[in-house]
Amino acid sequence: FSGENGSVKEPGMIVIDNSVENEFSQDCIGRISASFDTDSLRKSVFIIINNDPFSICVFINNYKVYLEDLNIIYYNPSQIEKSCILSNSNFHNAYFSKSIEHFIQRVKRKKVADEKYKNVTPFFVYYMISLYVSFTSNIIKALDSVNEFLMKRFSVKSCSLQQLSHRLQQINYLTFNIIEKKLVVKRLIGVLLFDILLGIGCFIVISQWTSSFELHYYFQVTTKGIATKVQELLNWLSGAPAGLKLNQPLSETLASFFSYHVYLWTMYVGVASPLLQVMTKLFVSIGLFGVSLQIALLADFLSLGLIHIHTFYIYAARLHMLQVSLLGSQWRGFRGRKWNPLKEREDSRSEHRQRPLIKAFSAFGFTFVLFLMPTTTVYYCVFVVLRVLLLSIQGLFSLFLWALNSNPIYILVLHVFGSQHLKGNLHFELLTNEDQIQESPLELRLTVKSSSITDSVKSSYCSTLFPSMPKLDFVYICNSLIYADKLL
């Protein structure tokens, strides 16, 4: 609105609220105090409507505002009250954003106050919830500690422990916020229900078609079959694989070394058979709490059944890294250079009488390592391929877990049925004729339309509840494959 002298002032807003009592006149149907950041914009607004003849008079602090300086907006309060993402909309204009935000708060204020009054949690229930959350928080810390220990000591992580910790965090958040009608809470409830329904379905299918004893038997047979195939692969490598001429003594030594580890692994599987049988029973029954826990436990079964492949890869990678570093050091010694670890650069050696002898030994060491490297490289390449296949399967399991833990199925269902909870795009329609704009208020109709699926999913996303999509670090993978200084 403008001042009496035509000077433009900062924009204000008038919201007609029928719940406000009329204190001054029977014709005054609305009175609000606009609460903005500055005290200069706190206005007492009166709106007077005369029926005969029909006219509208607006007074702000007892000063009349001309009609051509007004904007009248017609809106449906139910559209704003039912929208769950309207307050998350982004507006580019600062004044417009502040006015719209204040307008939405004024419309929703009475409804939010009524809901808070109805949803008062009794003290005893709140105390029991606090005890439950405190207990589960300690469990989450214990699970994270075990995972950190496994990562530091054995460079592995348990998917089942990680998934159980994440699920407890989601339940803790839901325990405190289930009363609130936020879109994040509703999406989280949809994620949990979808996961549990799939888990119950898998439990019914497994119970009807097989049993935990049969699954345990299949696991043992599969593990022994994999060990047999690995032994056959080692026997093939100890000869002349694909017609390659390898160093026969070194190849037989490496094959015997890895064959002994295969034998140890088959003995370990036989000794741990009772424990594996208990884990198989747990795999079947844990489906009642969600199919994601079953997938995480299946990923741990895979890692446990193929741990000898991971061990072979570590041995071959360390041997390959040692040979690459030896080739580099001997090549630098032959050229009269040396590596300075403090400055992380190559320095030249000082001139002395033993330099020809150093070059001779460097040339001998370089030649010795170079002729042995094809044999170790073949073993390294074979075990790298097996490790990459294992990581690919584990990556698929991680992708399935991410999809189950953050699926937007609730948002998709609301979009299919055209729910008003996902309406968040504001649209203004001009009602005043262009010829009457100079003489009458500018009349607009405000409608709230549905947001896109992408905006709805972003509005219902929370980084602490829904994990981010797993990504591949191609630079790390390439360095690990070529130099083997870091393990996959």
For 153-202, give the DSSP string. Answer: HHS---HHHHHHHHHHHHHHHHHHHSSS--HHHHHHHHHHHHHHHHHHHH
Same domain, yes or no: 345 and 269: yes
Residue 17 placed within a domain: no
Same domain, yes or no: 334 and 440: yes
Nearest in space to 105 (alpha carbons), one of 35, 159, 31, 47: 35
What count of other Cβ atoms lies within 10 Å of the Cβ of residue 109? 13
Question: In this structure, what token pair is assigned to residue 52?
Answer: 């005969």
Residue 3 placed within a domain: no
Same domain, yes or no: 167 and 111: no
Interatomic CA distance for residues 97 and 101, integer angstroms? 6
Decide which of 484 and 415 is more confident.
Answer: 415
Q: Which of 118, 140, 160 is the last residue of a domain?
A: 118
Asked if 480 and 486 count as a contact pair (C-beta separation under 8 A), the reply is: yes
Asked if 81 and 111 count as a contact pair (C-beta separation under 8 A), the reply is: yes
Interhelix angle 212-238/307-334, nearest 10 degrees: 30
Cα-flanking dihedrals φ and ψ of residue 340, to 5°? -100, 105
Residue 37 placed within a domain: no
CA angle 147, 153, 155 (to 5 degrees): 70
Identify the weakest region by mean pLDDT among 154-158, 168-172, 214-218, 288-292. Answer: 154-158
- Bridge-partner residues for 49, per DSSP? 56
Decide which of 124 and 40 is more confident.
Answer: 124
Residue 39 placed within a domain: no
Same domain, yes or no: 352 and 478: yes
Neighbour-count burial of 12, counting CB atoms closer than 10 A to its CB (0-12 exposed, 13-18 middle, 19+ buried) = middle
Provide the whole-model pTM: 0.75
Cα-flanking dihedrals φ and ψ of residue 449, to 5°? -105, 165
Decide which of 315 and 65 is more confident.
Answer: 315
Please, which residues have CB within 8 angstroms of residue 231's CB and are 6 or more apart in sequence? 259, 262
Same domain, yes or no: 103 and 69: yes
Express the helix, strand and coil content of the chain in percent, nearest 5 each: 65, 10, 25
Same domain, yes or no: 66 and 187: no
**85 three-class SS:** coil
**384 three-class SS:** helix
**Is the pLDDT confidence value at 227 over 80?**
yes
Residue 42 placed within a domain: no
Give whole-number Cα distances, 354 to 336, 338, 347, 359, 459, in Å. 11, 15, 17, 9, 72
Give whole-number Cα distances, 344 to 323, 335, 336, 347, in Å. 20, 18, 17, 10
Per-residue pLDDT reduced to its tens digit, 252-276: 999 999 999 888 888 888 888 888 8
What is the structure's pLDDT at 193? Answer: 93
Q: Which of 67, 87, 118 is the last residue of a domain?
A: 118
Identify the domain containing residue 281 by its residue range: 124-483
Same domain, yes or no: 288 and 333: yes
Per-residue pLDDT reduced to its tens digit, 433-459: 766 556 667 777 888 888 888 888 888
Interatomic CA distance for residues 311 and 303, integer angstroms? 11
Same domain, yes or no: 112 and 242: no
- pLDDT bracket for residue 163 (50, 70, 90): very high
Q: How many domains does the chain have?
A: 2
Same domain, yes or no: 134 and 81: no
Residue 186 placed within a domain: yes
Interatomic CA distance for residues 209 and 216, integer angstroms? 14
Residue 27 placed within a domain: no
What count of other Cβ atoms lies within 10 Å of the Cβ of residue 62? 7
CA-based end-to-end distance of the chain: 66
Same domain, yes or no: 87 and 189: no
Give whole-number Cα distances, 336 to 148, 339, 363, 370, in Å. 45, 11, 11, 19
Neighbour-count burial of 134, counting CB atoms closer than 10 A to its CB (0-12 exposed, 13-18 middle, 19+ buried) = exposed
Interatomic CA distance for residues 359 and 102, integer angstroms? 81
- pLDDT bracket for residue 462 (50, 70, 90): confident
Same domain, yes or no: 89 and 137: no
Q: Which of 86, 118, 150 is the last residue of a domain?
A: 118
Residue 151 placed within a domain: yes
What is the structure's pLDDT at 213? Answer: 87
Nearest in space to 22 (alpha carbons), one of 41, 48, 2: 48
Same domain, yes or no: 324 and 463: yes
Question: Strand (E) positions, 216-331?
Answer: none
